Structure 1
Amino acid sequence: MQTILGAGGIIGIELAKALTQYTTDIRIVARNPQKVNETDQVFKADLLNPGETFRAIEGSEVVYLTVGLKYQAKVWQEQWPILMQNVINACIRTGAKLVFFDNVYMYGKVDGWMTEESIMRPNSKKGKVRTRLISMLQDEMHKNTFPILIARSVDFYGPGTKNSVTNLIFDNIRDGKKPQWLVDINVPHSLTYTPDAGKATALLGNTPDAYNQIWHLPTDPEKITMKSFIHQALEAAGLPQKIGIFPPWLLTIAGLFNTNIREIKEMLYQYDSPYLFDSSKFEKRFGKMYTPYSEGIQYMIQYNRQKR
């Protein structure tokens, strides 16, 4: 049995699709779980409840934690440590392996490329929460209590994505609106393609010697600026080359009325300077698995045309 905790988001969905290459015994766990594959088992659970978490994990060989909590620092501070401890305790009791789908908030602002060896220097409330979670997992790694793997992605884009900053680009283009970006379109910004993230996470979870390590998921190494990325999307859609930019002062004003915008303000350091993600460790071990930006952009435009 391979179990996905928090399978309702796009990463959980892509992961469930990819896992069919390794097993047909997949359990989907969420507050309101829905099948991704016909043979999936669904299990309703609140992962803030230790008993429900244990029952969700019981009988699993591999557990994938892909939960996405409400994007508010206070919620993260209150709920993430409880949820993670519940999952750790359940894995210890059952002997299940754990794959944690992570982001890069714990690195803070990095000068140069982010690698698996980058020091954790969070400069945001959410980054400090992620640092605490990684510390919890690394403590268990050092004690060798059960196998743990951390798989990291940067901002992502891909079909069906709902809660990514890249929706400002592709949803707007789909709806005939001007695509938008945050702060500065002239700096390079790495983006992970969600189908690649799902396939790579499934591969890692089914590779015994990949455990007790951190892995950056396959991402195109091109130092693409968001200006180039958006221009390619507009060209593929046959639309004029017009881009909207949210400057910091406008986000400050908008944040007075919109909680989500207010929450993203502390993360603006990711958008005003180079944001570069190195996944060469993965490529050296498993080969090239990333989708080039040019291909991913073309597919997204075609996908959205079909979804109109």
Structure 2
Amino acid sequence: MTTQVKRQYVVLGGTGSIGYAFTKELLAHQEQTTLLVRNKQKAQKLFPDHPDLTLVEGDATNLELLKSLSATATHIFYGINYPYPQWEGNMERITNLVIEAATPAKATILFPGNIYNFGLTTHITETSPETPCSRKGQLRVKLEQLLKQAATAGRCHVINLRLPDFWGPNVVNEGIAPIFRGALTGKAMPWLIRNDIPHQLVYTPDAARAFYALSVAAPEEPYALYNFAGEIVPSIKAWQEQIAAVAGTRPKHKVYSKTLLNILSMFMPLMREIKEMAYLWDNTLLLHDDKLRRTLPHFAVTPMPEAIQHTLAWFRQHSAG
């Protein structure tokens, strides 16, 4: 008789874009989930009382706290993402802390990867050479190397799911949130540099479902790497028109040019960081996910109209924030 292992998840960054979606997915499956959050009140608003959810207020840089929460964990979701200007030093530090916390129980670290590792590579597979053209891309390569080295040394397991741009409920960054708020209010729906070329996006609840499905399967290797392609829209302009149509408003497009970005970068630290990544909005970069499709043959993304409706409903409900 086979004894089923009881899974226990620790989620870091659970009030952020992907961490929120993954936590919702875990609770839908009645998984034992511990959220380490810096603002418990904010977390309580996002996650009303749930019998399988434990909220702990604290900071992930507190190694003793992190190790205590992870002592019996089977999985640690690494959803922490500092603001761009704070990446240097902080992202490498937190990666090492997560690895150290995962080591005693040999927990599986679930890591949301991205495409920064590949610079201007337009078609990205799991075996594409890493050719970063930015400081942030070089740092992402280093983070993945740290995770792979730890997994290879037997300290933990790692599932690295590389993802394109996030969108969905609780995705409140300044690239996505103004689009949905603009659609609801009839105001401008902004984008950077080019809104007339195909763009790859991932609806965060879909990414969360993929992560969960991979987490419950027996790991095939210590360091498992997958791409998730999400969905390719023909252009951001067309996607915004679809969002406005569902919201019942007329789309108002607004594109911030490279020239404006260059000017703003002289005065604003965040714009300086975004300027370095401008190639992401000036080109069509595509992840290919044949490996994931072979692993999860029945997986299907949420139909776009349904995903848009759910996201608009979330922003409508949280419009005061």
- How high is the TM-score relative to the length of structure 1? 0.90
Partner SS for 1:149: strand
> Aligned match of 1:38 in 39, 50, 68?
50
- 1:72-119 per-position Cα deviation (integer Å, ceiling 9, x unaligned): 1xx2121111111111122112322211122221122212x2222222
**Offset of residue 21 of structure 1:** 4.7
Q: 1:31 to 1:239 in 2, by over 3 A?
A: closer
Alignment match, 1:158: 168
Query: For 1:148 and 1:249, how far apart are their aligned partners in 2?
Result: 41
Query: For 1:305 and 1:6, how far apart are their aligned partners in 2?
Result: 23
Partner SS for 1:209: coil
1:84 aligns with 2:95: yes
Query: For 2:121 and 2:58, how far apart are their aligned partners in 1?
Result: 37
Aligned partners of 1:100 and 1:149 also within 8 Å: yes
- 1:220-250 per-position Cα deviation (integer Å, ceiling 9, x unaligned): 2x45211221222233333334311110111
Alignment match, 2:202: 192
Alignment match, 2:14: 7
Superposition pairs of residues 251-270 of structure 1, within 5 angstroms: 251-270=261-280
1:49 aligns with 2:62: yes
Alignment match, 1:18: 25
1:70 aligns with 2:83: yes
Larger deviation: 258-267 or 30-39?
A: 30-39
Query: For 2:33 and 2:294, how far apart are their aligned partners in 1?
Result: 29
Gaps of 5+ in 2: 1-7
Aligned partners of 1:150 and 1:214 also within 8 Å: yes
**Offset of residue 46 of structure 1:** 2.2
Q: 1:235 to 1:249 in 2, by over 3 A?
A: same
**Offset of residue 305 of structure 1:** 4.4
Larger deviation: 91-100 or 35-44?
A: 35-44
**Offset of residue 300 of structure 1:** 3.1
Aligned partners of 1:218 and 1:283 also within 8 Å: no
Query: For 1:38 and 1:302, how far apart are their aligned partners in 2?
Result: 22
Aligned partners of 1:188 and 1:276 also within 8 Å: no
> Aligned match of 2:153 in 139, 143, 151?
143
Partner SS for 1:261: helix
Query: For 1:159 and 1:294, how far apart are their aligned partners in 2?
Result: 14
Partner SS for 1:76: helix
Larger deviation: 16-25 or 241-250?
A: 16-25
Larger deviation: 2-11 or 282-291?
A: 282-291
Q: 1:57 to 1:298 in 2, by over 3 A?
A: same
Aligned length: 304
1:278 aligns with 2:285: no
Query: For 1:15 and 1:259, how far apart are their aligned partners in 2?
Result: 30
Task: Letter of the 2:151 partner, please give it.
Answer: M
Identical-residue share of aligned pairs (%): 26
Partner SS for 1:17: helix
Partner SS for 2:73: coil
Aligned partners of 1:5 and 1:64 also within 8 Å: yes
Alignment match, 1:167: 177
1:133 aligns with 2:140: no
Aligned partners of 2:186 and 2:250 also within 8 Å: no
- How high is the TM-score relative to the length of structure 2? 0.86
